[in-house]
Amino acid sequence: MTAVLVIEDDDRIRLALLLALEEEGYTAYGAGTAEEGLRRQRETPADNVLIDLMLPGIDGFECIRQLRRDDDVPIVVVSARDDTHDIVAALEAGADDYLVKPVAVKELSARLRALRRRGRSTAVPAQVFGDLEISPEAGEVRRAGRPVAVTRTEFRLLCELAEHAGRVLSRQQLLRRVWGYDTGDERLVDVHVGRLRQKIEPDPTKPRHLVTLRGLGYKLQR
Amino acid sequence: MTAVLVIEDDDRIRLALLLALEEEGYTAYGAGTAEEGLRRQRETPADNVLIDLMLPGIDGFECIRQLRRDDDVPIVVVSARDDTHDIVAALEAGADDYLVKPVAVKELSARLRALRRRGRSTAVPAQVFGDLEISPEAGEVRRAGRPVAVTRTEFRLLCELAEHAGRVLSRQQLLRRVWGYDTGDERLVDVHVGRLRQKIEPDPTKPRHLVTLRGLGYKLQR
DNA sequence: GGGCTTTTGTCACACAACTGTCATCCAACC
DNA sequence: GGTTGGATGACAGTTGTGTGACAAAAGCCC
């Protein structure tokens, strides 16, 4: 049984998260302030900590630093602000992952799983797209928690797209980055994208993650 | 220790960047031309490359392409021009991030860190017109936060208008800039504007952003 | 090495999406 | 009320993408 500590001052959000986590099979307990969170974590350490950045008193960044000081627990930041500065600062402080509110519970769950699996010290974090997890170092892809067998080329293609998640990559760019071709038949990319979709998309004809941008290329999105 | 190569022809700016980077704890070295930059990167590869677009001789775009050819180093473009075309072209050429001068050193530093840390680039800010967002890098248009599917021509047309936001563009100008036609039927523009309105205007008959200036042309406003 | 499976790249075809043209209708302006 | 410029729906030609079939190449197991 995995225990998760949720540090979040907004009662409604905290309770919603706790409920959602319990539903997913975690043991979840909450703290309304950084102080309380730190105390609980000292007394009964959880396996994961979820933390909001904007907290009364000691703020999220400081709290992360203190948690890190005496523990190696994976810390996931949940923040309303999707700001490069905050993300960087939180990761600097020692957080392991960063989610922007509103949080999709499925995604949260997948990230927690990914975090625990890799332990918190690895260099390349697993990437999560909705119910899709990609861990470059493990060479593994999972959908809804189940491993999916992809070939090497497909995996590289997926990693490349994941690395630039949310951005269009032209067939040309993909050819260069995945295959190392400076020139070549762009249709090759189509074929592999098609094969990848068969494996990672619930309905390959209506891709949700690996989408086509007609005339531009492909993009991986959440 | 992280090494950064700065390719920038203006001595004052280059030195300022080098100093600022050294201050932030990087090892920074500079190159005044693309040729010199390419040579240095071949001989002693840096961990990040910062590059200006306007360079004498080989220009920034070409330089990015050549850097990309034999290396996977994160490339950050630093340009005075905050022009959608440039941004798209730079990213196409293989750049990972784009900053507009004047550069805040803190931000630059954070982006470099983020780039290395997460192995991927941070987002290029989208252009915003009221509830309308245009993000060239994602190849995406959003209205009220929801993605709107636009075609490539529509997208280019929109980008062109956005780039000159608040100013009228004649059909002739649009034909030339979007289609590359030096001559042609101006009604073509009308049709595409109409289609675009169907997608981005809440009420296409009463356009709020993409307005007609009778006898003059079209303009995009906030 | 020989025979097997798996993966990869090429091709062709089908289909869906997009583009540009045109005709018609409407609104603004004089 | 007539004239001009703009909006729009329909249509056909074009382009771009998805996909199944197939053969070559790469692994793999005796």
Q: What is the pLDDT of residues B28-86, one digit of tens each?
A: 888 988 888 888 887 777 878 999 888 888 888 888 888 876 566 788 888 877 655 66
Chain A residues near residue B123 by CB distance under 8 angstroms? 84, 166-167
- Assess whether A138 and A112 both reside in one domain: no
Q: Work out the pLDDT band at B125, boundaries 50, 70, 90.
A: low
Q: Report percent pLDDT > 90 for chain B.
A: 13
List the single residue in B69, B120, B138 with the smallest CB-CB distance to A219: B138
- Assess whether A111 and A132 both reside in one domain: no
Residue B90, pLDDT score: 74
- Assess whether B162 and B109 both reside in one domain: no
Highest-scoring range by mean pLDDT, A66-80, A202-216, B64-78: A202-216
Q: Which nucleotides of D are covered by protein (CB under 7 A)?
A: 5-10, 16-21
Nearest nucleotide from residue A194 CA, by C1' atom: D18
Taking the model in full, what pTM does it have?
A: 0.57
Written as six digits, the tokens of B176 are: 């030339």
Torsion of CA B190, B191, B193, B198, to 10 degrees: 140
Residue B189, pLDDT score: 92
- Assess whether A106 and A137 both reside in one domain: no
Residue A157 clears pLDDT 60, i.e. is over it: yes
- Residue A131 CA to residue A133 CA, distance in Å, equals 7
Taking an 8 Å Cβ-Cβ cutoff, which residues of chain A contact chain B? 84-85, 87-88, 91-92, 124-125, 163-168, 170, 173, 176, 182, 213-217, 219
Contact A121, A109 (CB under 8 A): no
Residue B110 to residue A88, Cβ atoms within 8 A: yes
List the single residue in A165, A170, A214 with the smallest CB-CB distance to B92: A170
- Assess whether B188 and B100 both reside in one domain: no
Chain B residues near residue A126 by CB distance under 8 angstroms? none
User: What is the overall mean pLDDT for chain B?
Assistant: 80
Strands A3-7 and B127-129, sheet pairing: unpaired
Q: CA-CA distances (angstroms) from residue B33 to B6, B53, B62, B69?
A: 10, 11, 12, 18
- Residue B127 CA to residue B162 CA, distance in Å, equals 8
**Distance of C1' in D10 from CA in A97, Å:** 52
Nearest nucleotide from residue B149 CA, by C1' atom: C17
Q: Work out the pLDDT band at A125, boundaries 50, 70, 90.
A: low
Residue B192 within a domain: yes
Residue A121 clears pLDDT 60, i.e. is over it: no
Chain A nearest C-alpha distance from B67 (Å): 13
Contact A65, A75 (CB under 8 A): no
- Assess whether B107 and B131 both reside in one domain: no
Residue A167, pLDDT score: 82
**Distance of C1' in C4 from CA in A143, Å:** 31
Interface test with A, best of B67, B68, B96, B120 (most A CBs within 10 A): B120
Number of domains in chain B: 2
Residue A168 to residue B138, Cβ atoms within 8 A: yes
Contact B154, B146 (CB under 8 A): no
Chain B nearest C-alpha distance from A40 (Å): 31
Could you tell me which residues come within 8 angstroms of residue A152 by beta carbon, excluding any fewer than 6 positions away? none
Q: Which nucleotides of C are covered by protein (CB under 7 A)?
A: 6-12, 17-23, 28-29
What is the residue range of A37's domain? 3-116
User: What is the overall mean pLDDT for chain A?
Assistant: 81
**Distance of C1' in C20 from CA in A18, Å:** 56
More confident residue, A124 or A213: A213
Q: Work out the pLDDT band at B118, boundaries 50, 70, 90.
A: very low
Residue A122 within a domain: no
List the single residue in B111, B113, B139 with the smallest CB-CB distance to A168: B139
Interface test with B, best of A167, A179, A218 (most B CBs within 10 A): A167
Residue A100 within a domain: yes
Chain B residues near residue A176 by CB distance under 8 angstroms? 68, 94
Residue B122 within a domain: no
Residue A138 clears pLDDT 90, i.e. is over it: no
Residue A24 within a domain: yes
Could you tell me which residues come within 8 angstroms of residue B78 by beta carbon, excluding any fewer than 6 positions away? B8, B17, B50, B51, B52, B99, B100, B101, B103, B108
- Of A121-125, A130-134, A192-196, the poorest mean pLDDT is in A121-125
Residue A167 to residue B69, Cβ atoms within 8 A: no
Residue B121 within a domain: no
- Assess whether B133 and B112 both reside in one domain: no
Residue A83, pLDDT score: 62
List the single residue in A84, A163, A214 with the smallest CB-CB distance to B152: A214
Q: Which of A62, A81, A116 is the last residue before a domain boundary?
A: A116
Residue A158 within a domain: yes
The stretch A135-146 carries a mean pLDDT of: 74
Residue A121 within a domain: no
**Chain mean position to CA A58:** 26
Q: CA-CA distances (angstroms) from residue B34 to B8, B39, B59, B60?
A: 8, 9, 7, 7
- Assess whether B89 and B109 both reside in one domain: yes
- Assess whether A87 and A138 both reside in one domain: no
**Which element (helix H / strand E) includes A98?**
strand A97-100
- Assess whether A65 and A100 both reside in one domain: yes
- Assess whether B109 and B132 both reside in one domain: no
Instruction: Give me the CATH number covering residue A35.
Output: 3.40.50.2300
Q: Which of B116, B138, B173 is the last residue before a domain boundary?
A: B116
Residue B91, pLDDT score: 66
- Assess whether A112 and A133 both reside in one domain: no
Instruction: Give me the CATH number covering residue B138.
Output: 1.10.10.10
- Residue B119 CA to residue B38 CA, distance in Å, equals 22
- Residue B178 CA to residue B158 CA, distance in Å, equals 9
The stretch B143-158 carries a mean pLDDT of: 86
- Of A33-42, A62-71, A85-94, the poorest mean pLDDT is in A85-94
Q: Which of A116, A150, A171 is the last residue before a domain boundary?
A: A116
Radius of gyration of chain B (CA): 20
Q: How many helices (H) and strands (E) does chain B have?
A: 8, 11
Tell me, what DSSP letter sits at residue A121? T
CA-angle at A186, arms to A184 and A192, nearest 5°: 115
Taking an 8 Å Cβ-Cβ cutoff, which residues of chain B contact chain A? 68-69, 91-92, 94, 107, 110-111, 113-114, 117-123, 137-140, 151-152
A65-102: buried (b, 16+ CB within 10 Å) or exposed (e) per residue? ebbbeeeebbbbbbbeeeeeebbbbbbebbbbbbbeee
Contact B173, B164 (CB under 8 A): no
